[in-house]
């Protein structure tokens, strides 16, 4: 699958051949830092001074690289496709090779960063449980009412929430049976076939 680069994108990356090899390495590093930690205008200024290039050019170059790397990692394009996609920019072979290396070295990390942006439901963290027996209440004395009290810990966008729930023994056994069925589904032929064929 080929990456389609817009005219603006190509213009941004157009500064790379003029900048020289050292600059390309520096811009690559800045692009990765921007992906990890967000935009850093001061670092761009420092690079602009060191390489003797205008700050606007540096920033455009960094942004262009960021976009190139994120789109390639997102689509997980192969080496050949990546090379063919940047071929249209008309860079030298050496520059193409450095860009390819930059992509291959960092795509796993970029994919894990992108993975954290996906929409997420609250996810399971852990469960604590406790066995209780209710002996009396305001409306009835001398009872024996067993119950299981649980504290369900969930993660929601880096917040941990705890929910206190209670069930009776019959429902507990029903829950266990249903969830075991759910686990069993993963091992069925249908799921295995789909997982195998969709790699």
Partner 1 sequence: ILDDPDLKEIDPTVLKHCHAAAATCILEAGKQKADISAISACLEDCKLDKERIEQFCTEYQHRELVTVVSFSIGRSPLHVTDVSWRLEYQIKNNQLHKTYQPSYLVTLNVENSDSGSHSDVSFSCTMEQLQDLVGKLKDAAKSLERATQM
List, in sequence order, every residue forming a beta bridge with 160; answer none if it has no partner: 155
Please, which residue, 11 or 165, has the CB nearer to partner 1? 165
CA torsion sign, 181 to 199 to 97 to 27?
A: negative
Please, which residue, 52 or 177, has the CB nearer to partner 1? 177
- 135 is an interface residue for partner 1 by CB under 8 A: no
- 139 is an interface residue for partner 1 by CB under 8 A: yes
Region from 28-36, 49-57, 82-90, 164-172 binding partner 1, contact rule CB under 8 A: 164-172
Region from 32-40, 81-89, 101-109, 137-145 binding partner 1, contact rule CB under 8 A: 137-145
- 192 is an interface residue for partner 1 by CB under 8 A: no
Please, which residue, 39 or 129, has the CB nearer to partner 1? 129
Residues 6+ apart with CB under 8 A from 134: 143, 144, 145, 146, 147
Contact status, residue 168 vs residue 175, Cβ threshold 8 Å: no
Helix (H, G, I), strand (E, B) or coil at 156: strand
Q: Characterize the bridge pairing of strands 123-134 and 159-167.
A: unpaired
CA–CA gap between residue 34 and residue 19 (Å, rounded): 20
Q: Work out the number of other CB atoms within 10 angstroms of the CB of residue 99.
A: 24
Counted residue by residue, the chain has a size of 199
- 148 is an interface residue for partner 1 by CB under 8 A: yes
Helix (H, G, I), strand (E, B) or coil at 164: strand
- 178 is an interface residue for partner 1 by CB under 8 A: yes
The mark string for 91-130 relative to partner 1 (x by CB under 8 A, - otherwise) is --------------------x--xx-xxxxxxxx-xx-x-
- Binding residues for partner 1 (CB under 8 A): 74-76, 111, 114-115, 117-124, 126-127, 129, 131, 137-143, 145-150, 152, 154, 163-169, 171-176, 178-180, 182-183, 185-186, 191, 194-195, 198-199
């Amino acid at each position: 699958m080929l990456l389609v680069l817009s005219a603006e994108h190509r213009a941004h990356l157009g500064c790379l051949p003029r900048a020289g090899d050292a600059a390309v390495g520096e811009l690559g590093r800045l692009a990765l830092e921007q992906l990890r930690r967000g935009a850093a205008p001061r670092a761009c200024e420092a690079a602009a001074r060191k390489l003797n290039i205008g700050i606007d050019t540096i920033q455009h170059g960094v942004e262009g690289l960021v976009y190139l790397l994120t789109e390639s990692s997102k689509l997980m394009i192969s080496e050949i496709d990546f090379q063919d996609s940047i071929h249209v920019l008309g860079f030298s072979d050496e520059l193409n090779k450095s860009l390819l290396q930059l992509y291959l070295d960092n795509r796993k990390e970029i994919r894990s960063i992108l993975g954290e942006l996906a929409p997420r439901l609250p996810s399971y963290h852990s469960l604590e449980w406790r066995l209780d027996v209710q002996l009396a209440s305001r409306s009835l004395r001398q009872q024996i009412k067993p119950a299981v009290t649980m504290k369900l810990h969930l993660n929601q966008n880096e917040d941990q929430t705890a929910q206190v729930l209670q069930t009776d023994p019959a429902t507990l056994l029903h829950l266990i049976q249903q969830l075991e069925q759910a686990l069993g589904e993963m091992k069925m032929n249908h799921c295995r076939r789909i997982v195998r064929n969709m790699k």
